[in-house]
Amino acid sequence: MSLSVPHAVAVWRRNASMYRRIWMLNILPNFFEPVLYLLSIGIGVGAYISQMGGTSYAAFLAPGLVCVAAMNGASFEVTYNIFVRLNFEKQYDAMLTTPIQPDDVLFGEVLWAVTRSAIYGICFFIVITLFGLARLPAALLVLPVIPLTGLLFAAIGLAFSLRIQTIDLYSFYFTLFLTPLFLFSDVFFPLKERLAGGWLWVAEALPLLHPVRLARAGFAGRIDLNALWDVTYIVVVSLLLLVWARGAVRARLIS
């Protein structure tokens, strides 16, 4: 292992200093997206639903949307942004003329993606708290789920970015991967209640489902054995993908 944390932090700070200049432009659209869903589906559609899992529909929606915000924050970073830095701007080639090594680049980028997911997730958490949809302090249990969601989607997006040759393929990633996850991962309705018995495993395979279930359990203040399985899923999938990404990053940066 050739990781130097100070050098990885230097990579992280590069992104942070870029983000500081554009955060207003950047955060507003991504931040408003779940807010709009909350207003339209949660409060609009929710008016026709008397209750859901013992709460109002808007309150049912809120924890899942925190995860969606975190997923979006990490995903934008490890898709278009990384692809441009890697293939067009050649930023990593410049980093590798200094003592920075490929492992530092990978660690710094993942750390930054997790940071961005945390910025989005926490902002959204503040919004739902202001809407009165989070019961404090129990709902604070959702906070650790935000960086975990970021880690998982940083790892998935990074692996995708390292596989593809052309930037156009991200439309597939967003439309045919992230959007279905968003629609079917227990955010809007409990998927398992709509699946025939033989298909339950499909739900367990969906990556977003695990953070959403954790977040909902956190909101309700009910942590059980399921939570252990969800955390294990997130950590193991993330680590497997990152181990693969480590080799891929080296191969891309060192010839």
Residues that bind another protein (CB under 8 A): 2, 4, 6-7, 10-11, 13-14, 17-18, 21-22, 89-91, 93-101, 253-255
- Dist. CA 218–CA 63, nearest whole Å: 8
DSSP 143: T
Closer to another protein at the Cβ: 96 or 248?
A: 96
Closest distance to another protein from the beta carbon of 24 (Å): 14
Cα separations (Å) of 128 from 47, 134, 199?
A: 17, 6, 33
Closest distance to another protein from the beta carbon of 255 (Å): 5
- Dist. CA 102–CA 30, nearest whole Å: 30
Closest distance to another protein from the beta carbon of 97 (Å): 4
Closest distance to another protein from the beta carbon of 22 (Å): 8
Written as six digits, the tokens of 201 are 């495993």
- Dist. CA 247–CA 140, nearest whole Å: 37
Closer to another protein at the Cβ: 21 or 50?
A: 21
Closer to another protein at the Cβ: 9 or 237?
A: 9
How many Cβ atoms sit within 10 Å of the Cβ of residue 204? Answer: 14
* Look-up of token digits 């930054």: 112
Closer to another protein at the Cβ: 40 or 98?
A: 98
Closest distance to another protein from the beta carbon of 98 (Å): 4
Asked if 66 and 215 count as a contact pair (C-beta separation under 8 A), the reply is yes
Closer to another protein at the Cβ: 33 or 103?
A: 103
